Amino acid sequence: MSLALQGVQMSDDIGSRLKLVRQIFGLTQRELARRAGVTNGAISLIEQNRVSPSISSLKKILDGIPLSLADFFTLNFSPSDEVFFTAEELTEIAHLPEISMRLVGRRAKGRALGMLREVYQPGADTGDTMLRHEGEECGIVVSGSLTVTVGVQERVLNPGEAYYFRSDIPHRFRNQGAEPCVLISANSPPTF
């Protein structure tokens, strides 16, 4: 599915990116140039990576599509085809004895979203040093209880209770209860 365009890197190669987007929307260089109020020559040079456009002119061009700068840089050209997964098909990503983290789908670049089913055995503790990364994350406790620390805030969450925070705030998960805790969490952009 999607367009057969493999070698398009994420951040670099603005030229290919613009060309692909333009073609997806069925526009010629001249047509896009007309809509955007720039010249076709400029678009040609940009698509060949012979120049690196200024933000202002790139924005003008994208406005002609129309597409936001954020969408332009975020766009994902290689979505996965797989839709359904059994419990066993979830990808195990943690290699700790007391914590199981299983990702819905395979590890894939360019997704908007990562969802995990996590199981914390009694006494399990992530520690608070390692967990800092970009993005935001969210979770709901399904069974058991989990002590969640986010920055200076801490709380014991019981089934049905939830959290939402920015991932760059240091955070820590601990199961101080007697039974295993099942947590379903999501993060965006995906960490794994």
Interface contacts to a second copy, rule CB under 8 A? 10-12, 14, 51-59, 68-74, 76, 79-80, 82-87, 90, 104-105, 111-113, 115, 117, 134-140, 142, 148, 150-151, 153, 155, 157, 159-166, 184, 186-189
Q: Which amino acid is at 82?
A: E
**Do the bridges between strand 153-157 and strand 146-150 make them parallel or antiparallel, or are there none, so unpaired?**
antiparallel
Q: Quick one: DSSP state of residue 125?
A: B
Residues pairing with 117 in the sheet: 102, 184
Does 48 sit near DNA (CB under 7 A)? yes
Rounded to the nearest whole angstrom, what is the least distance from the CB of residue 138 to a second copy in the complex? Answer: 4
Does 12 sit near DNA (CB under 7 A)? no
39 interface partner picked from DNA, a second copy, none, CB below 5 to 8 A per type = DNA
Report the C-alpha gap between 146 and 178 in whole angstroms: 11
115 in Cβ contact with 103 (< 8 Å): yes
Rounded to the nearest whole angstrom, what is the least distance from the CB of residue 4 to DNA in the complex? Answer: 17
106, containing H or E segment: none
Binding site for DNA (CB under 7 A): 28-31, 37-42, 44-48, 50-54, 56-58
